[in-house]
Every structure is written in C-alpha cells, then in structure tokens.
C-alpha cells in the first residue's frame, strides 16, 4: 500500500512539471505537390492498403504487400516506379461468406498481406489475414509466381500472421527460419513469439501458454544481431510489476537465441532463452514516454564494436500532460546486454506478483545454450525472465521531443559529412501525413525540412529506407511514395546551403551550386554542426543573389534596384517580405532612417505597413537574420505615382556590358548578368492603366532557375525599370524638396485667393455682401452685357481641361504667376 501511494504521488507531481521543450520547428516546409520537392508516387485503382514493403537485395525491385495482391515495382530510375508484376492472392467467395457470417465487415474480410520476407536466394515467404483465417505461401522470386503444394492448398498462417488486419505484428527471417510476434487466435487474446520453418533436428518454438510471459502486448518491431546470434523484439505491454491504480503501459525489449531448440523435459518446444527488460524513455523530472510506437536498428560505424549498435525508437505517452507529443530515444546494444546480464525479478505464481530475487542464481536467464541445462536450471529461468534493471537511453536523455506532432514511423542512417564526421539522420513520419528529416547535432536535433506527403492523414503507413537508392519509401492505404533523401538543388546560394546544415549537401565553388558532397571534388562549403556561413563560404565565389547586407564594397542602398511601387499620397502601403526559413528572423531597414513604430507597423507575417507621405517615400529593405548571418530578401523603391506615360522598351543590361544586378521579387532570383555570363532575362509586358486606379503596375514574367526557392508562377509587380545599374543616379532628395516647395506654393496661392475674396465681400454694403441672388436678375439688357464684360473669365481650365463657365464652382486661375481672384460666383449659376 505504501508503494502504491508513493508511486501515485510521484505521478501526480510529475504531471505538474511540464516537459522540456526542444526546437523541433522545421527549417523549411514543402506543401503537397511542391515542384521544389520532387516525389514519385505509385497508385493502383484495384490495389489498396499498400503498406507492407520489402526491398530486393540489389535494391532495384520493391515488393509491396497490398490488399488481395502482391506487387513488384521497378525502382531503378530515380524519378519513376513502374509496375513489373502483380500476383492476385484473394480469398474465395466461400471464404468471404464465412467471414461475414462471423460478424466481420466485408471490407475487412479481404486478404491483407502482413508478412513479406526474403526466404533465400530463390524464394520469398508471404502471409496474409485471408478473411480472418491466416494463410501463408511461397513466392518464386525469379518468375514472381505463387507456389502451392500439389493439392493447391496453402499453409496455415496461425501464429505467423494476425487474424485482424488492424492488429500489429512483426516478422523476420534468419537463416531460412521465420521469427514472428503476433496473436494466434481469432479474438486476439493469445499473444505468441514463435519460430517457424525449422528443419532437421531443430524444432519450432513458442512461448509457454500458461506462463504469462507477455501481458496484453502490442508488437512493434524485431531485429537480428549477428554478433549475439539473438533476435530482439520490441513491444509494449501492461507492466504487472507495478502495483498501480490504473493499468500502466511499459515498453519492452525481449530476446531469444537463434540456437535455442527448447528443453529436453522442462520447456519442451518452448523458449529457454526468453528474457525481457523495460525500455525507459524519459528525462529527469518528467513523466516517461512509456508507449513505444516504432523502432529501427542502426548498425555500428565501420570499425566500431558491435556493442555500439543503436536502437532508435519513437515513444508516446499515456499521460495527459504529454498528450499529442512524441519523443525519440536511442538505446545502445551494450546497455541492453548489461541489463540482461544482471539480476532478475521473481514471479510468484500464486499471487502473480513480482519481487526482487535475493537467493543465489541457479542459472543465468537469457544466456544461450540453456537447452542442455538441467531441469532445475530451466525451472529457474522459467520463473525469472524479467530483468530487474531498466534500459536507459544513451546519455540519460531524450534525443528529440516533438511538441505538436505524433510520430508513427522512423528510419535512420549514418551520413559522413565533408569533414569526415558522422551524423545520424532520422526520417520521421507523422500521423498527419508529414515527413520530417532530422539531423542529430551536439546541441540538439535540427529539423532540416518538412514534406507533406498526403492530403489527408493515413491510418496505416510503413517506412522503408534504401541507402543504395538514396530514397525512403512510404507505404499508405492509397499508394507508395518515393522520397529522395537529399534535396540540395533547392538551396540557391552558399549561405542557404550552409544554413540548411544538411550533411548530404555542400556548396560547390566550381559550379556555384549546392550539390551532394559525394559529387564535389574539393573546397566543399559545409558546416553541419555550427552552420557558420562566414566560415564555410570563405572561398572566392560569385555574389549570392540574396547577398549579405554588409558588402565588401560600399553600396548605395537607397538606389538598390528592386521592386518599384508607385503610390498616391495618403495611401496605405503594404510591402510583403518572403520567408527565407522558419528559423530566420525578418526585419526592415531604411538607409539613414529609423522605422518609427508611430509611422510603421510590422506584421506577424513579415510585411511592413505604413501611410504614404513624402517622408515615407524611398527605398526599403527586408532582411533576415539566421544563426548570426544577415541577408537581403527583397528590396522596394516606393515612389509617388505620376501621370501614366508610355514606357520605353527595356534594354538588356548585358548589351552594354553592365555589372551583375540581381532583381528580387519575393524569394525568386533573376540573374541578369554575372561576370560576363548571361543569365535569364525578364520579359516585361505593360498592362492597361486607368486614371482612377490607385497603383500603376506591370506584369513581369521571369524565367527562373529550376532550383528556385519559390513556386515558378508569374508575379504581379509594380512598374519601373528593373534593369537599372547599381550606380544609377538617385533623385530621392530632389523629389522631396520639389514636393515640399510645391505644397508651400499652392498653400500661398490659396491663402491669397481667399484673402482677396474676403476683401471684395467686405467692400459691399451689408444687404449686397456675398448675396446669393444672381447679379443679372432684373437688370436691363445693357446692364447684363456690362456684367458679362466684368466677368474675369468666361471659361477656365481645371486640371488641364477646359470647362464652361456654368459648369461648377468658382475657380482661381493661375496665369503668368499672378493670382486673379473672382467674386466667388460663375455667371448664371446660383450657389
């Protein structure tokens, strides 16, 4: 009772402590179907649930276990997956009727292939649910055909494949023998870990039915370690060793020896080397992530000890405080071996409770070769199969925590960077259809990119890495996807290539491009650990399109070419800024000016909003800062619009041998000329413009590089010649001075006109002052003629156009620099 209260108190206190957050924000994200991230997709209208994947030894063929079929795909080409063959393996009508008679849905009564393994050099082995009556078969790898016995019957798959297609299982073939972990009954209440297809003196083995060696497990994965001659199984189950109020789920690793042949009298046809231990994925002061979701094995580096074999696992939590979060923990084989070599708990068969064993060991549980041990020793290992110690993660810490994603599948590989250092790259598949590529660094994980694979979350998925093909294969209910592991051409400059911190990619100074380091001969620009641009990009190279704000030579930033925006005064202007990466911080600058918060509003999306006034006209620069490196994202020239005039045809800058200029619209790049080499020239087309429009705009269609950061759509841009040189004279100050003088002159003229009008009104008598009556009303014809002759002008001009005298209000005519005031009325026009 004391232990129960203590454990309950600990859990409550830990729930009050929030988990430690890590930076799991992807640096860049690619939407579904983005041309910047190439994906290859295979779908078949008649084949669904393509989730069981197997790659051939040469890596050229991908075998897919689907619903009622097994597919063979040619994956030799990097950008295609071609169907080579299809084996129909569907239940008969009688099998389907029997399944539905048992109360199962007809869609679940199909044959879902759940086991697909290479048996030897000529054959494969497959098992399927087969309408809730599992079946297994052999497949000829050379002819890709099903093989059955002379009677046409197939092997029973009980204990090798689950009945229910929604139940998880794992299987692996070692030396022609099949090791499986699944459930062996229709209701899914009989979990088994067994060996099949044994020949000669070897016999098939399984767990003892009455021992309760596993408690309501969910089998996840299995792997074979040749140096240990052991198969390791990973699963989660109910932890009976904890006397807790609710059922506590724990994650386990179990082992069996491939040399095990069972006991002679005790444990006949049963495992004598079965042992299990708890995997503890947690950090100090936090609740553990106790539910294992997937595990992948990473072999040791060349020349390293077999004990350095690593197991990378995804864990979730049953506790509400960690709801919606996933953690990645890595375990070392040497630590697993040490736990299995230690002490074991003892199970009391009467009370079914575990206790620490005090008496001397009679045998060492989990040790290979116990099949020839005495009955007394076998009875000891029969009751002592749970290791007392737990397996802790490497470094006693979590390798990664995702705050807002639930990971479902994992793949891992070791990549050697340009400096010779090895980095671990993880591929994590989320339950919402996202693929995260993560590199593990000394200071924590770095999510290089995020790729959306499916429009909607998929219920069943699988992930398979092919190092030889440089791609990961994703199996889903709707088809199979092939995702290249490297996407180096996406990064347009040395700075972006280095900031990506992708161990696959480096800057090639000879080609001025980001490429895979295996193809670069010398002077690779790369810094995976630090992402230091100034260090990795020191080699002489052409200036980056998004060049750093501090150039090696002085640049008149006020005349920096960019997107020209023409506006009217007192108009709200909004300048948009692209996002270089989700880890960069964007900010705006003006030359020799401060962006006062009273005049400027910087939005959360990076855009800048302000009111167009003479003081806010001029150049604007949007910059990003990431990892200490600052670069220009986009430049704007905000000018007051004038009367629309025909625009002269743009003359290519390379016709005059001008230096390089880079025009930026959003994150796109247009190379006009660079070091004497011609680039892609923009095509300019003038749109029709009305007088009442607020902005005058042009549409510029650019020819972008294939590795452009953004989508290659046509962009609406403001008018202005974008081919101007960097040293073009700038008339910003002159424009401001002329505008101020013009405003002062107009104000003075208006004041003089109003003063004259006021004096004329005072000079009249009170009844006649500012009379609203027509001065011609009641007058004789001679008087009317005299009044007409006294009118200053019969017509006037307004905004450069002639108007009749009876067209509107009184006017002030400006001629020869003299102000001529009127009496405030036009002839024959009452006010």
Interval 565-592: pLDDT, tens: 999 999 999 999 999 899 999 999 998 8
Q: What is the mean pLDDT of residues 397-418?
A: 94
User: What are the C-alpha distances in Å from 524 to residues 171, 489, 506, 709?
Assistant: 43, 15, 6, 22
pLDDT exceeds cutoff 80 at 21: no
Report the distance separating Cα 214 and Cα 252, nearest Å: 10
Look up residue 608 and give its two tokens. 């800048």
Q: 267-307: per-residue pLDDT in tens?
A: 999 999 999 999 999 887 778 899 999 999 999 999 999 99
**Owner of token pair 């393509």:** 50
Which pairs with CB-CB distance under 8 Å and at least 24 residues apart come from 822-827?
Answer: 822/757, 822/791, 822/792, 822/793, 823/757, 823/760, 824/757, 824/760, 824/761, 824/770, 825/775, 827/776, 827/787, 827/788, 827/791, 827/794
Q: What is the mean pLDDT of residues 375-388?
A: 90
User: Considering the domain 488-536 in this protein, what is its CATH number?
Assistant: 3.30.1680.10
- Is it true that domain 557-730 has CATH number 3.30.499.10? no
Residue 541 has pLDDT above 50, yes or no: no
Q: What are residue 807's phi and psi, to 5 degrees?
A: -90, -20
State how beta strands 230-238 and 249-257 pair. Answer: antiparallel
pLDDT class of 322 with cuts at 50, 70, 90: confident
> Is the model more confident about 53 or about 551?
53
pLDDT, position 359: 62
Over its C-alpha atoms, the chain yields an Rg (Å, rounded) of 39
**Beta strands 563-567; 629-640: pairing state:** parallel
- Where does the pLDDT of residue 346 fall: very low under 50, low under 70, confident under 90, or very high at 90 and above? confident
Closest CA to 276 of 191, 197, 178: 191
Region at 545 (left for phi over 0; alpha for psi -120 to 50; beta for the rest): alpha
Q: Is 793's pLDDT higher than 60?
A: no
Torsion, Cα of 176, 181, 186, 187 (10° steps)? 180
Domain-by-domain residue ranges, the chain?
Answer: 488-536, 557-730
Residue 55: per-residue pLDDT? 96
Range in 14-18, 76-80, 177-181, 591-595 the model is least confident about: 14-18
**CA proximity to 461, closest of 425, 431, 426:** 431
- Long-range contact set of residues 813-820: C-beta below 8 Å, sequence gap at least 24: 814/749, 819/749, 819/752, 819/753, 819/756, 820/792, 820/793
466 — pLDDT class (breaks 50, 70, 90):
very high
Distance CA 697, CA 256 (A): 73
Res 237 pLDDT > 50: yes
pLDDT on residue 711: 31
The CB-side HSE value for 13 (13 A sphere, CA atoms) comes to 8
User: What number is the average pLDDT over the span 314-333?
Assistant: 91
The span from the CA of 351 to the CA of 344, in Å, is 18
Q: Are 40 and 46 in contact (CB under 8 A)?
A: no
Q: Measured between alpha carbons, how far is 27 from 446 in angstroms, rounded to an integer?
A: 8
Quick check: helix, strand or coil at residue 742? helix
| Contact (Cβ atoms closer than 8 angstroms) between residue 352 and residue 368 | no
CA distances from 328 to 225, 296, 313, 331, 608 (A): 22, 11, 6, 10, 40
The mean pLDDT of the chain is 79
Check residue 33 and report its DSSP letter: T
pLDDT in tens, 673-713: 333 333 333 333 333 333 333 333 333 333 333 333 333 23
Label residue 593 by pLDDT band (50, 70, 90).
Answer: confident
Q: Maximum CA pair distance of the chain? A: 145
pLDDT number for residue 151: 60
* Residue-level pLDDT at 259: 95
pLDDT greater than 80 at residue 517: yes
Angle in degrees, CA 231, 237, 241, rounded to 5 = 105
| 647-673 pLDDT tens trace | 444 333 333 333 333 333 334 333 333
**Structure token pair of residue 660:** 């390089």
Least confident of 108-112, 407-411, 429-433, 494-498: 429-433
Residue 425 confidence (pLDDT) above 60: yes
Q: CA–CA separation, 816 vs 818, rounded Å?
A: 6
């Amino acid at each position: 009772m004391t232990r129960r209260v203590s454990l309950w108190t600990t859990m409550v206190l830990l729930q009050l402590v929030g988990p430690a957050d890590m930076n799991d924000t992807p640096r860049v994200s690619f939407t579904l179907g983005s041309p910047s991230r190439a994906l290859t997709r295979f779908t078949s209208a008649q084949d669904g649930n393509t989730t069981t994947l197997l790659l051939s030894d040469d890596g050229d063929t991908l075998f897919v276990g689907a619903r009622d079929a097994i597919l063979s795909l040619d994956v030799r080409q990097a950008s295609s997956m071609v169907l080579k063959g299809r084996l129909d393996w569907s239940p008969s009508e009688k099998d389907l009727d029997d399944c539905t008679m048992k109360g199962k849905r007809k869609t679940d009564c199909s044959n879902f292939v759940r086991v697909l393994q290479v048996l030897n050099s000529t054959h494969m082995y497959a098992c399927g649910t087969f309408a809730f009556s599992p079946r297994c078969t052999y497949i000829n790898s050379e002819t890709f055909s099903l093989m059955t016995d002379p009677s046409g019957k197939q092997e029973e798959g009980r204990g090798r494949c689950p009945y229910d297609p929604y139940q998880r299982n794992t299987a692996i073939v070692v030396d022609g023998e099949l090791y499986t972990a699944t459930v062996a009954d229709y209701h899914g209440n009989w979990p088994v870990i067994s060996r099949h297809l044994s020949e000669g003196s070897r016999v098939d083995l399984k767990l003892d039915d009455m021992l309760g060696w596993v408690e309501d497990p969910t089998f996840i994965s299995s792997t074979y370690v040749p140096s240990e001659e052991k198969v390791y199984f990973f699963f989660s189950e109910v932890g009976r060793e904890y006397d807790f109020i609710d059922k506590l789920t724990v994650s386990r690793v179990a082992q069996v020896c491939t040399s095990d042949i069972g006991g002679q009298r005790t444990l006949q046809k049963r495992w004598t080397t079965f042992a299990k231990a708890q995997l503890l994925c947690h950090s100090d002061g936090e609740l553990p992530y106790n539910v294992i979701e997937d595990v992948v094995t990473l072999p040791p580096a060349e020349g390293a000890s077999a004990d350095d074999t690593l197991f990378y696992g995804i864990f979730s939590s049953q506790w509400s405080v960690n709801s919606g979060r996933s953690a990645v923990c890595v375990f070392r084989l040497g630590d697993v071996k040490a736990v299995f070599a230690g002490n074991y708990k003892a199970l009391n068969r009467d009370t079914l409770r575990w206790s620490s064993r005090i008496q001397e060991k009679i045998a060492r549980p989990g040790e290979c070769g116990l099949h020839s041990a005495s009955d007394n020793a076998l009875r000891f290992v029969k009751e002592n199969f749970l290791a007392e110690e737990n397996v802790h993660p490497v470094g006693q810490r979590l390798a990664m925590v995702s705050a807002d994603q639930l990971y479902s599948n994992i793949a891992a590989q070791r990549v050697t960077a340009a400096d010779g250092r090895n980095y671990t790259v993880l591929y994590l598949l989320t339950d919402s259809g996202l693929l995260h590529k993560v590199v593990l660094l000394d200071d924590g994980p770095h999510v290089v990119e995020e790729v959306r694979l499916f429009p909607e979350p998929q219920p069943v998925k699988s992930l398979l890495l092919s190092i030889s093909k440089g791609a990961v294969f994703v199996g889903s209910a709707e088809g199979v996807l092939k995702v290249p592991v490297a996407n180096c051409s996406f990064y347009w400059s040395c700075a972006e290539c280095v900031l990506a911190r992708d161990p696959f990619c480096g800057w090639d100074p000879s080609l001025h491009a980001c490429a895979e380091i295996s193809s670069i001969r010398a002077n690779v620009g790369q810094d995976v650990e630090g992402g230091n641009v100034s260090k990795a990009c020191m080699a002489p190279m052409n200036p980056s399109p998004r060049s750093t704000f501090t150039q090696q030579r002085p640049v008149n930033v006020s005349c920096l070419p960019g997107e020209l925006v023409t506006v009217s005064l007192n108009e709200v202007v909004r300048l948009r800024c692209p996002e270089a990466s989700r880890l960069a911080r964007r900010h705006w600058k003006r030359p020799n000016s401060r962006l006062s918060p009273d005049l400027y509003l910087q939005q959360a999306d990076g855009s800048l909003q302000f009111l167009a006034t003479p003081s806010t006209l001029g150049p604007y620069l949007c910059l990003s800062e990431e990892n200490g490196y600052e670069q220009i994202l986009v430049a704007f020239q905000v000018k007051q619009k004038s009367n629309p005039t025909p625009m002269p045809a743009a003359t290519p800058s390379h016709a005059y041998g001008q230096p390089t200029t880079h025009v930026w619209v959003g994150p796109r790049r247009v190379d006009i000329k660079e070091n004497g080499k011609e680039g892609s020239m923009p095509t300019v087309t003038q749109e029709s413009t009305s007088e009442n429009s607020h902005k005058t705009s042009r549409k510029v269609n650019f020819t972008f590089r294939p590795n452009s950061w953004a989508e290659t759509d046509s962009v609406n841009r403001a008018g202005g010649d974008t081919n101007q040189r960097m040293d073009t004279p700038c008339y910003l100050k002159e424009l401001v001075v002329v505008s101020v003088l013009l405003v002062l002159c107009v104000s003075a003229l208006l004041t003089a006109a109003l003063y004259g009008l006021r004096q004329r009104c005072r000079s009249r008598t009170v009844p006649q002052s500012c009379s609203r009556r027509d001065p011609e009303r009641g007058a004789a014809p001679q008087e009317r003629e005299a009044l007409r002759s006294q009118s200053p002008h019969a017509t006037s001009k307004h905004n450069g156009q002639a108007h009749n005298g009876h067209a509107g209000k009184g006017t002030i005519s400006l001629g020869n620099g003299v102000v001529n005031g009127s009496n405030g009325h036009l002839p024959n026009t009452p006010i």
